[in-house]
Amino acid sequence: MSLVTFLHHLQQSNLFNSIDDYPRAKSEAIEAIKVLNALAKDPPYVNQPYLKPLSEFALTNYDRVQQKQPVSEKLIWLSSKIGIDFYFPLIEFGEKITSASDIFTTNPSSTKDGTDASTMTVPSGLEVKFKSISTSHWQDDKSHMLNLYQDLLTNCSFVSSYIALTNVNFSTYSLIAPHNTSSEYQITLTFNGCKRTVKVDDKLPYIVNSNRNLTLKSFTDSQLYWPALIEKAYLKIMGHGYCFEGSNMANDTYLLSGWIPEVIRLPNSKSIDALSHLWEMRVRNKVTLGIGTERFSNQFSSSINLIGEHDYVIDDFDGHCITLKNPWVTDDLSKRLVKVYNLTHFKYLYVNWQPKPGVEMYQENFIYTVKDGIFDQTQFTMECRKETTWLLLEKHIPVEEHHWMRINVYKSACRVVSPFDHEEHSVFETNNRLQLIKLPSGTYTLVIWSNKQGRYSLMSYGSNFHRSNYQYPHIQSLDSEWTNDTCGGNWTLASYINNPQFDIVVTKSTTLKLALFAKGLVNFDIFFADKLKIGQRIRSYNKTKCLTEDKYSQDYQSKSLHLDPGLYKIVVSNFDGSPAPFKLLSNTTESIAIQKIPSTMSLYTLKQTFLWNQQNRLKLYFKTSVYNTSIIAQIRHTDDEHAAYSRQTDYRPALRASLFSAVTKQPVQINDQFRDDCLYGLFVEERLQDPGEYILLIERFEIGKGRCDVVLGSDHKLTLL
Tell me the C-alpha distance between 121 and 537, whole Å.
66
109, pLDDT greater than 70 = no
Question: What is the chain's percent helix, strand, coil content, to nearest 5?
Answer: 20, 40, 40
Q: Are strands 510-528 and 580-588 parallel, antiparallel or unpaired?
A: antiparallel
Give CA angle at 679 (675, 685), nearest 5°. Answer: 60
Q: Please, how many CA atoms are within 13 Å of residue 658, restricted to the half-sphere of its CB?
A: 16
pLDDT(538) > 70: yes
Q: Which helix (H) or strand (E) holds 555?
A: strand 553-563
pLDDT value of position 601: 85
The average pLDDT across 10-38 equals: 97
Instruction: Report residue 385's pLDDT band, with 50, 70 and 90 as the boundaries.
Output: confident
Domain 361-467 has CATH 2.60.120.380: yes
Rounded CA-CA distance 620/559 in Å is 44
260-353: what fold?
Cathepsin B; Chain A (3.90.70)
Q: Mean of the pLDDT values across residues 563-569?
A: 97
Residues pairing with 685 in the sheet: 632
The percentage of residues in the chain with a pLDDT greater than 70, rounded to a whole number, is 98
List beta partners, residue 629: 688
Q: What average pLDDT does the segment 399-422 reach?
A: 95
Task: Tally Cβ neighbours within 10 Å of residue 424.
Answer: 14
Decide if pLDDT at 117 tops 80.
Answer: no
- Give the per-residue pLDDT at 100: 95
Cis? peptide before 53, omega within 30° of 0: no
DSSP 12: H
The mean per-residue pLDDT over the stretch 543-562 comes to 94
Residue 267, phi-psi category: left (phi > 0), alpha (psi -120 to 50), beta (remainder): beta
Q: Cβ–Cβ contacts within 10 Å for residue 715, how many?
A: 15
Q: How high is the pLDDT of residue 273?
A: 82
> 398 preceded by cis ω (within 30°)?
yes
**Averaged pLDDT of the chain:** 94
Task: Write out pLDDT tens, residues 184-240.
Answer: 999 999 999 999 999 999 999 999 999 899 999 999 998 999 999 999 999 999 999
Do the two domains 361-467 and 474-597 of this chain adopt the same fold? yes
Going from N- to C-terminal start, the domains of the chain cover: 3-99, 128-256, 260-353, 361-467, 474-597, 604-720
> What's the full length of the chain, in residues?
721
Could you tell me the pTM of the whole model?
0.89
pLDDT (tens digit per residue) in 262-291:
999 998 766 788 899 999 999 999 999 999
Residue 166 to residue 171: CA distance in whole angstroms: 7
CA distance 230 to 228: 5
How far apart are the C-alpha atoms of 617 and 612, rounded to whole Å?
8
Residue 6 has pLDDT above 90, yes or no: yes
- Work out the pLDDT band at 552, boundaries 50, 70, 90: very high
At 428 the pLDDT is: 96
Q: Which residues are catalytic?
A: 156, 310, 326
Q: Which one, of 249, 269, 272, lies nearest residue 340 by Cα? A: 272
List, for residues 442-495, the tens digit of each pLDDT value.
Answer: 999 999 999 999 999 999 999 999 999 999 999 999 999 999 999 999 999 999
Candidates 82, 55, 81, 65; CA nearest to 21 is: 65
- The phi-psi region of residue 78 (left if phi > 0; otherwise alpha if psi is between -120 and 50; otherwise beta) is alpha
Q: Which fold has domain 474-597?
A: Jelly Rolls (2.60.120)
Position 58 pLDDT exceeds 80: yes
Q: Please report the pLDDT score of residue 108 as a whole number.
A: 52
Q: Which value, to the nearest 10 degrees, does the dihedral of the CA atoms of residues 112, 114, 117, 120 take?
A: 110
Inform me whether the pLDDT recorded for 640 exceeds 70: yes
Q: Is 104 a residue whose pLDDT tops 80? A: yes
Architecture of the structural domain at 604-720? Sandwich (2.60)
Residue 669, number of CB atoms within 10 A of its CB: 14
Per DSSP, the three-state class of 483 is: coil
Q: Residue 79 and residue 71: Cα distance in Å, rounded?
A: 12
pLDDT of residue 112: 52
Give the mean model confidence (pLDDT) for residues 375-382.
Answer: 95
